[in-house]
Amino acid sequence: MIDEPIGSYFTVDAIASLKEMTVNNTPEEVLQTKIVGQQEVRRNLQDWIDPIKTELKALFETKKALIPIDAQRVRQLVSEGKAEILPSKIVWTVKPCPEDRRGRRKARLVACGNFQTNDPDQAESLFAGGPQVLL
Protein backbone atom coordinates (compact mmCIF):
# COMPACT_ATOMS: atom_id res chain seq x y z
CA MET A 1 0.00 0.00 0.00
CA ILE A 2 1.33 3.44 -0.92
CA ASP A 3 1.18 6.12 1.77
CA GLU A 4 -0.63 9.26 0.80
CA PRO A 5 1.40 12.39 1.69
CA ILE A 6 -1.68 14.41 2.64
CA GLY A 7 -2.93 11.71 5.02
CA SER A 8 0.54 11.46 6.56
CA TYR A 9 0.64 15.20 7.26
CA PHE A 10 -2.75 15.04 9.00
CA THR A 11 -1.57 12.11 11.10
CA VAL A 12 1.63 13.90 12.13
CA ASP A 13 -0.37 17.05 13.00
CA ALA A 14 -2.82 15.02 15.09
CA ILE A 15 0.00 13.29 16.97
CA ALA A 16 1.70 16.64 17.62
CA SER A 17 -1.57 18.10 18.95
CA LEU A 18 -2.14 15.12 21.26
CA LYS A 19 1.44 15.34 22.49
CA GLU A 20 1.04 19.06 23.21
CA MET A 21 -2.14 18.41 25.22
CA THR A 22 -0.52 15.73 27.39
CA VAL A 23 2.80 17.44 28.04
CA ASN A 24 3.25 19.27 31.35
CA ASN A 25 2.42 22.91 30.57
CA THR A 26 4.36 24.32 33.52
CA PRO A 27 6.37 27.20 32.07
CA GLU A 28 10.09 26.71 31.95
CA GLU A 29 12.19 29.19 33.89
CA VAL A 30 13.74 31.84 31.65
CA LEU A 31 17.48 31.83 32.30
CA GLN A 32 18.64 34.04 29.43
CA THR A 33 17.11 36.64 27.15
CA LYS A 34 15.32 35.15 24.18
CA ILE A 35 13.67 36.68 21.15
CA VAL A 36 10.06 35.64 20.72
CA GLY A 37 8.42 35.04 17.35
CA GLN A 38 5.32 36.84 16.13
CA GLN A 39 3.24 33.64 16.24
CA GLU A 40 3.96 33.10 19.93
CA VAL A 41 3.06 36.72 20.67
CA ARG A 42 -0.26 36.31 18.82
CA ARG A 43 -1.06 33.12 20.75
CA ASN A 44 -0.52 34.92 24.08
CA LEU A 45 -1.43 38.49 23.14
CA GLN A 46 -2.75 39.35 26.62
CA ASP A 47 0.77 38.77 28.03
CA TRP A 48 2.19 41.40 25.65
CA ILE A 49 -0.25 44.31 26.07
CA ASP A 50 1.56 45.83 29.08
CA PRO A 51 5.02 45.62 27.42
CA ILE A 52 3.60 47.37 24.32
CA LYS A 53 2.06 50.13 26.47
CA THR A 54 5.35 50.51 28.37
CA GLU A 55 7.32 50.88 25.13
CA LEU A 56 4.92 53.47 23.70
CA LYS A 57 4.93 55.46 26.94
CA ALA A 58 8.74 55.45 26.97
CA LEU A 59 8.96 56.62 23.35
CA PHE A 60 6.27 59.33 23.51
CA GLU A 61 6.39 60.54 27.12
CA THR A 62 9.53 59.53 29.02
CA LYS A 63 12.25 59.80 26.35
CA LYS A 64 10.23 61.99 23.99
CA ALA A 65 11.94 60.20 21.11
CA LEU A 66 8.72 60.34 19.09
CA ILE A 67 6.02 62.94 18.77
CA PRO A 68 2.52 62.14 17.58
CA ILE A 69 1.67 63.75 14.23
CA ASP A 70 -1.23 63.21 11.87
CA ALA A 71 -1.05 61.74 8.36
CA GLN A 72 -1.34 65.16 6.70
CA ARG A 73 1.77 66.43 8.55
CA VAL A 74 3.65 63.26 7.58
CA ARG A 75 2.82 63.82 3.90
CA GLN A 76 3.94 67.45 4.19
CA LEU A 77 7.29 66.53 5.79
CA VAL A 78 7.92 63.83 3.19
CA SER A 79 7.08 66.19 0.28
CA GLU A 80 9.45 68.83 1.73
CA GLY A 81 12.24 66.26 1.98
CA LYS A 82 12.35 66.63 5.77
CA ALA A 83 11.17 63.10 6.50
CA GLU A 84 11.31 59.65 4.99
CA ILE A 85 8.95 56.78 5.70
CA LEU A 86 10.92 53.75 6.88
CA PRO A 87 9.77 50.22 7.61
CA SER A 88 9.70 49.30 11.26
CA LYS A 89 9.13 46.25 13.37
CA ILE A 90 8.58 45.26 16.96
CA VAL A 91 11.19 43.04 18.58
CA TRP A 92 9.65 40.85 21.26
CA THR A 93 11.91 39.49 24.02
CA VAL A 94 11.60 37.64 27.29
CA LYS A 95 14.28 38.41 29.88
CA PRO A 96 15.12 36.61 33.12
CA CYS A 97 13.28 37.98 36.14
CA PRO A 98 13.78 36.90 39.77
CA GLU A 99 10.13 37.70 40.61
CA ASP A 100 8.62 35.67 37.75
CA ARG A 101 10.16 32.43 36.49
CA ARG A 102 8.33 32.96 33.15
CA GLY A 103 10.51 36.04 32.63
CA ARG A 104 9.84 39.70 31.96
CA ARG A 105 8.37 40.50 28.56
CA LYS A 106 9.64 43.48 26.59
CA ALA A 107 8.56 45.03 23.32
CA ARG A 108 10.85 47.34 21.35
CA LEU A 109 9.73 49.39 18.36
CA VAL A 110 12.60 49.51 15.87
CA ALA A 111 12.86 51.72 12.78
CA CYS A 112 14.87 49.98 10.07
CA GLY A 113 17.50 52.68 9.51
CA ASN A 114 19.31 50.47 7.00
CA PHE A 115 16.46 51.23 4.55
CA GLN A 116 17.08 54.98 4.76
CA THR A 117 18.26 56.58 1.54
CA ASN A 118 21.71 58.13 1.75
CA ASP A 119 22.05 61.88 2.09
CA PRO A 120 24.44 62.98 -0.70
CA ASP A 121 25.69 65.84 1.51
CA GLN A 122 26.96 63.47 4.17
CA ALA A 123 29.81 60.96 4.07
CA GLU A 124 28.85 57.36 3.31
CA SER A 125 28.52 55.25 6.44
CA LEU A 126 27.72 51.57 6.82
CA PHE A 127 26.57 51.99 10.42
CA ALA A 128 22.81 51.41 10.71
CA GLY A 129 22.18 52.30 14.34
CA GLY A 130 19.00 54.17 13.53
CA PRO A 131 17.50 56.74 11.19
CA GLN A 132 18.84 60.29 10.97
CA VAL A 133 16.74 63.02 12.51
CA LEU A 134 16.28 65.85 10.01
CA LEU A 135 13.88 68.11 11.91
Give the pTM: 0.66
Over range 82-109, report the average pLDDT: 94
Please, where are the H alpha helices in 66-126?
Answer: 71-79
User: Band of the pLDDT at 1, cuts 50, 70, 90?
Assistant: very low
Per the structure, the complete domain to which residue 71 belongs is given by 29-115
Q: Is residue 1 part of a domain?
A: no
pLDDT at 115: 85
Q: Is residue 95 part of a domain?
A: yes
Q: Is residue 47 part of a domain?
A: yes
Q: Is residue 106 part of a domain?
A: yes
Instruction: Determine phi and psi for 83, rounding to 5 degrees.
Output: -150, 160
Residues 35 and 92 sit within 8 Å (Cβ to Cβ): yes
Q: Is residue 135 part of a domain?
A: no
How confident is the prediction for the chain on average, in pLDDT? 83
Q: Is residue 56 part of a domain?
A: yes
CA 77, CA 84: separation in Å to the nearest integer? 8
Domain count, the chain: 1
Q: Is residue 2 part of a domain?
A: no
